[in-house]
Structure 1
Amino acid sequence: MPSPLPVHTDAAPAPISLFSQAQVYNGLVYCSGNIGIDPKTGKLVEGTVTDRTEQTIRNISALLDAANSSLKRIIKVNVYLTTMDNFGPMNEGYAKFFSAPFPARTCVSVAGLPMGSDVEIECVAALDG
């Protein structure tokens, strides 16, 4: 069986710890958790959780493009929020990128996220072709 292949693109933020941006294996792309970091500055985007959700999904889109996939090929999404009070605002940003039929999704509240972010998103997508 072949080994997983790491995905890297400068169009998405560099990892802030010991992990790959994404891995391709067996026809699927596994994207690591992403937060709303501007890849040019390396800083969280200012504004609302909606703004950070939108940046997070743009980062994921760049990773999927680099792996020969796309947002339309996402099968499963996991969303982590520091408070469920941000569920509505996160959905506002999320809805700008996804339409029915939506990917399967889990959304949970966590005690904290990297760099003080209020939202983190990871996903699994199929490769194009």
Structure 2
Amino acid sequence: MPRQIILTDRAPAAIGPYSQAVRVGRTVYLSGQIPLDPQTMELVAGDIEVQTRRVFDNLRAVAEAAGGGLADLVKLNVFLTDLGHFARVNQVMAEYFQEPYPARAAIGVAALPKGATVEMDGILELAD
């Protein structure tokens, strides 16, 4: 099945040798997003809630460029440099999603690109 590279200027440009997302059939693989402002390519200022919203906004922009939305997300991976932020990330996630929720993992990591405190990637399954 052919691959379709997804690219939008509504989300940060890749900061390495990868695509924002790759679509194969109805499945879209979203690359990790950190809380970068797509216009300035700088980390947004603010607490974990502000940063988490920016990550979800970036993921949504890429999902929409692929022909879907966050409601099509079937798997979400959350990477946090401080698992103490887990409850606050959950609160923000509840603003962006409603049941049925995607499958999810939350992983504590030592560091993230550009000094970010949160990164997320995921997989979409688009409707026919």
Normalised by the length of structure 1, the TM-score is 0.95
The 5 Å alignment of 1:77-92 reads 77-92=76-91
**Over residues 54-84 of structure 1, what are the superposed CA-to-partner deviations in whole Å (9 max), with x where a residue is unaligned?**
1101111110111101111110000000011
What is the one-letter code of the residue matched to 1:57? F
The 5 Å alignment of 1:31-46 reads 31-46=30-45
User: How far apart, CA to CA, are the structure 1 residues paired with 2:66 and 2:86?
Assistant: 29
Q: In the alignment, is residue 7 of structure 1 matched against residue 6 of structure 2? A: yes
User: How far apart, CA to CA, are the structure 2 residues paired with 1:70 and 1:95?
Assistant: 15
CA positional deviation for 1:17: 0.8
CA positional deviation for 1:95: 1.3
Q: Which residue of 1 aligns with 2:124?
A: 125
Q: Please tell me whether the aligned partners of residues 73 and 125 of structure 1 are also in contact (alpha carbons under 8 angstroms).
A: yes
User: How far apart, CA to CA, are the structure 1 residues paired with 2:34 and 2:20?
Assistant: 12
What is the one-letter code of the residue matched to 1:37? L
What is the one-letter code of the residue matched to 1:108? I
Q: Please tell me whether the aligned partners of residues 68 and 128 of structure 1 are also in contact (alpha carbons under 8 angstroms).
A: no
**Over residues 26-55 of structure 1, what are the superposed CA-to-partner deviations in whole Å (9 max), with x where a residue is unaligned?**
211100000111101111111111111111
Normalised by the length of structure 2, the TM-score is 0.96
Q: How many residues align?
A: 128
Q: Any idea what SS the aligned residue of 1:101 has?
A: coil
Moved over 2 A (4+): none
Q: In the alignment, is residue 50 of structure 1 matched against residue 33 of structure 2? A: no
User: How far apart, CA to CA, are the structure 2 residues paired with 1:120 and 1:61?
Assistant: 14
Q: Which residue of 2 aligns with 1:18?
A: 17
User: How far apart, CA to CA, are the structure 2 residues paired with 1:94 and 1:51?
Assistant: 12
Q: Which residue of 1 aligns with 2:71?
A: 72
User: How far apart, CA to CA, are the structure 2 residues paired with 1:70 and 1:80?
Assistant: 21
Q: Which residue of 2 aligns with 1:111?
A: 110
User: How far apart, CA to CA, are the structure 2 residues paired with 1:107 and 1:24?
Assistant: 24
Q: Please tell me whether the aligned partners of residues 37 and 56 of structure 1 are also in contact (alpha carbons under 8 angstroms).
A: yes
**Stretch of structure 1 that moved more, 112-121 or 92-101:** 92-101
Q: Which runs of 5+ in 2 are unaligned?
A: none
